[in-house]
Amino acid sequence: MNKEKKILSTLMVIVMVGLGVALSGCVEEEEVNKIIVGTSADFAPFEYTDASGNIIGFDIEMVTTILENLNYTVEVKDIGFDSLIPSLQAETIDVIAAAMTITEEREEQIDFSIPYYEADQSVLIKKGSDVEINESHNLENFTASIANLTIGAQTGTTGAGWVQENLIDTELMDEANLKLYDLYIDAVADLDIGPARLDAIILDLPVAQAFAEDSGREVAYTIITGESYGLGVREGETELLNNINAELNEFMLSEEWTTLITKYFE
Ligand code: ARG
């Protein structure tokens, strides 16, 4: 091999190695920047699927904007509400955006962002059904009036927890009268069938109102629980949490936030 050829082939090796490094760098970077958001898309207007099966909603748009601002590529996974915390811990998802109430019990398992939405629980019934609810805001009168109903709720939610604590643990209601569903939309389908299946559903008020917009259902009562929703991240992911909080804080003060509220709630 003459000198020039040698230099040329050495140069080519350098270029090829360089290219290889650069390319693998790209791939790695993409993987590092991808983030998986877990949700339970049965909870309009926060998270639901459109006619073509795309996952949309207030939470989805909000979390996507925030994470994209942080330079992440976002993928949204629809899994049952009750599997969200275990999936976060198992690292199959990285962030929870599911209208999830910040509770002490959950705080022991995951970390929450600053609160982004306030909500109470409510009772959704079929319009014209003979379910009668004592509307006084005396908890005892109210609970007594619903203790004989068949009540539905989504597994693992604060709605299901409310029934457990206030009706079952107090022995006002038989445990068999609480029907737990993987998805709230399945509970609503049973409510539409009627009292043979379900008399009432306990769920977050803004979502009950959305379900009641479709004729045939009504919100019969608001149970003041004063809940706050937060985004969930794995415990100890302080940097991600701080970044999310900073973005969320800014986002909630922006025009975009108002636009999003108007789009999904008015
Ligand atoms: N806020 C309630 C809770 O945290 C219900 C949330 C249900 N969310 C959903 N995407 N299905 O327990």
CB of 74 within 6 A of ligand 1: the answer is no
- The residue to mutate among 55, 59, 81, 165, having the most atoms of ligand 1 within 8 angstroms of its beta carbon, is 81
Whether residue 125 sits in one domain with residue 102: no
Model pLDDT, residue 131? 85
Q: Residue 197 belongs to what domain range?
A: 119-227
CB of 121 within 6 A of ligand 1: the answer is no
Model pLDDT, residue 10? 52
Model pLDDT, residue 5? 59
Q: Determine, yes or no, domain membership for 80.
A: yes
Model pLDDT, residue 128? 85
Model pLDDT, residue 72? 98
> Any idea of the CA torsion for 119, 125, 130, 133, to the nearest 10 degrees?
-10
67: CA distance to ligand 1 center in Å? 21
Instruction: Give the residue, by CA position, lying nearest to ligand 1 atom 12.
Output: 157
Mean pLDDT of each 10-residue bin along the chain, 266 residues long: 56 50 50 90 97 97 98 97 98 98 98 98 92 81 90 98 96 96 97 94 98 91 96 97 98 97 95
Model pLDDT, residue 32? 64
CB of 116 within 6 A of ligand 1: the answer is no
Model pLDDT, residue 85? 98
Q: Determine, yes or no, domain membership for 236.
A: yes
The 3 state secondary structure assigned to the chain is CCHHHHHHHHHHHHHHHHHHHHHHHHHHHHHHHEEEEEECCCECCCEEECCCCCEECHHHHHHHHHHHHCCCEEEEEECCHHHHHHHHHCCCCCEECCCCECCHHHHCCCEECCCCEEEEEEEEEECCCCCCCCCCCCHHHHHHHHCCCCEEEECCCHHHHHHHHHHHCCCCCCHHHEEEECCHHHHHHHHHHCCCCCCEEEEEHHHHHHHHHCCCEEEEEEEEEEEEECCEECCCCHHHHHHHHHHHHHHHCCHHHHHHHHHHHC
Domain CATH code at residue 216? 3.40.190.10
How many domains does the chain contain in total?
Answer: 2
Whether residue 159 sits in one domain with residue 248: no
Whether residue 236 sits in one domain with residue 202: no
Whether residue 99 sits in one domain with residue 185: no
